[in-house]
Amino acid sequence: MAWTQLAGLLEIIDEGLISHNQAADVLEELYKSDFSARQIVQKKGWQVVADPDQLREIVEKVLADNPPQAVARYRQGGGQTARFLRGGR
């Protein structure tokens, strides 16, 4: 991994493009590729979504695309269900 890749990772963290938790995933990808951190985030779709309207659309789609039982379990406080609805992360 080149120092410019690491610098790019620090830059996008500072910009708020990704969270600190996502940085570990980006770092892992940096070791495996010659892409920049920004390219990896864009390619994987890992950028942080902070716009309330965009978040609302995403949540509505997740709720609509999943079985009502999963949504009901989530609303009852199901931590495992929350991970399922987020895609297993």
Neighbours of 69 (CB within 10 A): 9
> Is 17 in contact with 44 (CB distance < 8 Å)?
no
What pLDDT does residue 79 have?
Answer: 65
> Is 51 in contact with 40 (CB distance < 8 Å)?
no
Taking the C-alpha atoms of residue 46 and residue 30, their distance in angstroms, rounded to an integer, is: 14
Task: Report which of residues 28 and 86 the model is more confident about.
Answer: 28
Q: Give 51-80 pLDDT, tens digit per residue.
A: 889 888 988 888 788 778 777 777 777 667
Neighbours of 23 (CB within 10 A): 18
Position of tokens 């890992």?
46
